[in-house]
């Protein structure tokens, strides 16, 4: 038996097949269940695109108009579906254009896998055309990254990437693959990754810590729950709801935690943070036990750490040990998967109602309603408010739409006033605060869950940062509803300039184009609303549309978002005006 025959027999025995590295990439993605891929081709990734063309009946490639759009679309896909989003780009500027989306995914714990092409391995380090050290650049903003220079390394790298991206606290992973590795042939075999040495994504929950937490909660007079996105990522919505209902503890949420419990739930007391609701912010500094679940005590939630919940015993449920005592010193830490740890907590809790404590929240809500909410939703002023636009959308969405918001005043208004009946309905850029996020993220969300209504709420500033993705909507026929709340300002920056810089509106006023005409150029029907009497019919028409729709609403130029905790101030110093 000659050498070639022996080689074939061995390959057959281990179920290998000789293919190119580029075909292996596609085959690996298919094995991981990838059905949609967002990207932009170029020279260093061209062999992969050539193979992707052959497998186009198995993976649908979405040509975004910018690589940043691809990363954000992958995020939107992941956030609404719970699956791993995938983006692909060429070397050099293609790879670096992904970085903003990758950084956004890192701080918001979004599972995406980014694949970049790289110059041939013999040119690495020579400053070759379109060469950048994307592994070095992306190291601070990825959960894991790797450069592949041999075709045989591809299956293991991709399997590991998907495992790391979606396990434990999720996050972005980048795989950089040299062009020669894409061309090289090898004996292909794919096995999914089920573990990585020294990486333990889910810490074991200590039942004694759970019992200690339950004892504090059971004996508390004024307990408060603040939950974050960890509940959604852990698929622990039902467990959280059961804990809240059995304990009777008022429960508030961070921006990324929104929708884990329906906004209409009687124990849901609203949003915490800089532009959150008055009661949960104010009463954070009056509760005796603060139970943080799947949140990281971000500075926009805590305000001044020197005064944050100093009177309270703090319990922190989290999957990531690095978050414990990072910003806020806690009394009891419960590590583990939120679904498991909350189920354990539930069995230890006593039934309670805390009626007097809840009344304090209701009393403060009335103050906020009369000072802020009424003016946002039922304004007497001539100009339109952002809040009344959300109110109209709620009427036709019935709280079932996914709201994808950009960053700015409109984002805060959307988070405050959108109604959510189901989880994974609030998709926004939280920790990084990325303007330009919403339009491509809405595309990804709609393509991941085509049966759901997806409404993008965007300001006139952020909209123009990735307005080119209208071309992606046009080509993909993605039925995204786009609402631009146009105040002809970079509204949030202008608000700060008004309140803290004596109304010096330095470089924040916008001279905008005809947005409706631009949308029509992409065959997207649209309408511009300038008067209150036009709003209801316009929103009704948009929500009834079976295809994409663009709605521009011209709102008050100098409206502000309140309540507001000034930067660095205590949550007790929350302002209503």
pLDDT tens column, 369-410 = 999 999 999 999 899 999 999 999 999 999 999 999 999 999
Judge whether 17-188 and 207-360 match in fold: yes
Residue 11, Cβ neighbours under 10 Å: how many?
15
pLDDT at position 12 over 70: no
pLDDT at position 13 over 70: no
Both structure tokens of 500: 């803290």
How far is residue 274's CA from residue 573's CA, in Å, rounded to a whole number? Answer: 10
- Which range is least confidently modeled, 9-13, 289-293, 422-426, 554-558? 9-13
Confidence of residue 333 (pLDDT cuts 50, 70, 90): very high
Beta strands 402-405 and 426-428 are parallel
Answer CATH for 207-360 from 3.40.50.1220, 3.90.550.10, 3.40.50.2000, 3.40.1190.20? 3.40.50.1220
How far is residue 106's CA from residue 103's CA, in Å, rounded to a whole number? Answer: 5
Segment (H or E) for 457 = strand 454-459
Confidence of residue 10 (pLDDT cuts 50, 70, 90): very low
**Strand ranges across the sheet with 289-293:** 268-271, 251-253, 223-227, 289-293, 313-318, 332-335
How far is residue 368's CA from residue 366's CA, in Å, rounded to a whole number? Answer: 5
Average pLDDT, rounded, for the chain: 96
**Percentage of the chain lying above the pLDDT 90 cut:** 97
**Dihedral angle sign, alpha carbons of residues 37, 38, 43, 49:** positive
Question: Looking at residue 564, what DSSP letter applies?
Answer: B
The CA–CA distances, whole Å, from 469 to 65, 321, 444 equal 6, 38, 11
Q: What is the pLDDT of residue 2?
A: 58
Closest C-alpha to 72, from 414, 524, 427: 427
Confidence of residue 6 (pLDDT cuts 50, 70, 90): very low
Q: What is the pLDDT of residue 15?
A: 72
Fold of 382-555: Rossmann fold (3.40.50)
Confidence of residue 142 (pLDDT cuts 50, 70, 90): very high
The catalytic residue positions are 67, 129-130, 179, 492
Q: What is the pLDDT of residue 4?
A: 56
CATH superfamily of this structure's domain 17-188? Thiamin diphosphate (ThDP)-binding fold, Pyr/PP domains (3.40.50.970)
How far is residue 273's CA from residue 564's CA, in Å, rounded to a whole number? Answer: 8
Sequence-distant (6+) residues with CB within 8 A of 544 are 396
Q: What is the pLDDT of residue 255?
A: 98
Length, in residues, of the chain: 577
Residue showing tokens 């029509």: 520
Helix (H, G, I), strand (E, B) or coil at 431: coil
**Percentage of the chain lying above the pLDDT 70 cut:** 98
Residue showing tokens 């959280």: 240
Question: Looking at residue 577, what DSSP letter applies?
Answer: -
- Which range is least confidently modeled, 1-5, 54-58, 202-206, 503-507? 1-5
Sequence ranges of the domains in the chain: 17-188, 207-360, 382-555
Torsion over CA of 427, 431, 432 and 433, rounded to 10 degrees? Answer: 60
Q: What is the pLDDT of residue 323?
A: 98
Q: What is the pTM of this model?
A: 0.95
């Amino acid at each position: 038996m000659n050498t070639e025959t022996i080689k074939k027999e061995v390959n057959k025995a281990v179920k290998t097949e000789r293919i190119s590295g580029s075909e292996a990439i596609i085959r690996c993605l298919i094995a991981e269940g990838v059905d949609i891929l967002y990207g932009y081709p170029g020279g260093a990734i061209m062999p992969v695109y050539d193979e992707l063309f052959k497998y186009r009946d198995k993976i649908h490639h979405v040509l975004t108009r910018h690589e940043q759009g691809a990363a954000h679309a992958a995020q939107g896909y992941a956030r609404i579906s719970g699956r791993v989003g995938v983006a692909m780009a060429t070397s050099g500027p293609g790879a670096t254009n992904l970085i903003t989306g990758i950084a956004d995914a890192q701080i918001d714990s979004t599972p995406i896998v980014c694949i970049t092409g790289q110059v041939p391995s013999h040119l690495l380090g020579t400053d070759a055309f379109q060469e950048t050290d994307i592994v070095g650049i992306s190291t601070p903003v990825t959960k894991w990254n790797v450069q592949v220079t041999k075709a045989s390394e591809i299956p293991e790298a991709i399997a590991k990437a998907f495992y790391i991206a979606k396990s434990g606290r999720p996050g972005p992973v980048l795989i950089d693959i040299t062009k020669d590795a894409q061309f090289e042939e090898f004996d292909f075999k794919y096995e999914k990754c089920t573990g990585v040495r020294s990486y333990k994504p889910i810490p074991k929950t200590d039942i004694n810590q759970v019992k200690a937490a339950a004892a504090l909660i059971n004996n508390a007079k004024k307990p408060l729950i603040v939950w974050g996105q960890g509940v959604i990522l852990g698929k622990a919505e039902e467990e959280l709801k059961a804990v809240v209902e059995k304990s009777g503890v008022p429960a508030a949420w961070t921006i990324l935690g929104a929708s884990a419990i329906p906004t209409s739930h009687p124990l849901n007391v609203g949003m915490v943070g800089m532009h959150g609701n008055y009661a949960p912010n104010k009463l954070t500094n009056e509760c005796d036990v603060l139970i943080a679940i799947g949140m990281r005590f971000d500075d926009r939630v805590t305000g001044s750490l020197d005064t944050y919940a100093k009177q309270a015993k703090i319990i922190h449920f989290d999957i990531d040990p690095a978050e414990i005592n990072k910003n806020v010193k806690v009394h009891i830490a419960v590590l583990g998967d939120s679904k498991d740890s909350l189920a354990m907590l539930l069995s230890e809790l006593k039934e309670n109602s805390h009626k007097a404590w809840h009344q304090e929240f209701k009393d403060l809500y009335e103050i906020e309603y009369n000072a802020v909410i009424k003016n946002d939703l039922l304004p007497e002023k001539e100009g339109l408010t952002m809040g009344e636009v959300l109110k109209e959308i709620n009427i036709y969405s019935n709280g079932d739409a996914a709201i994808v918001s950009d960053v700015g005043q409109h984002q805060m208004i959307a988070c405050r006033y959108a109604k959510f009946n189901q989880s994974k309905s609030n998709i926004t850029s939280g920790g990084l605060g990325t303007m330009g996020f919403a339009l491509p993220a809405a595309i990804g969300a709609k393509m991941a869950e085509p049966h759901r209504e997806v409404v993008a709420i965007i300001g006139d500033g952020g909209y123009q940062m990735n307005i080119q993705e209208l071309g992606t909507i046009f080509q993909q026929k993605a039925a995204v509803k786009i609402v631009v709340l146009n105040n002809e300002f970079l509204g949030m920056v202008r608000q700060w300039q008004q309140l803290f810089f004596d109304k010096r509106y330095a470089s924040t006023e916008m001279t905008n184009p005809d947005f409706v005409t631009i949308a029509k150029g992409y065959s997207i029907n649209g309408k511009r609303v300038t008067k209150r009497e036009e709003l209801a019919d316009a929103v009704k028409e948009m929500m009834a549309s079976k295809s994409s729709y663009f709605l521009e609403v011209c709102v008050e130029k100098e409206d502000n978002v309140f309540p507001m905790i000034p930067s660095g101030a205590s949550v007790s110093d929350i302002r209503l005006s």
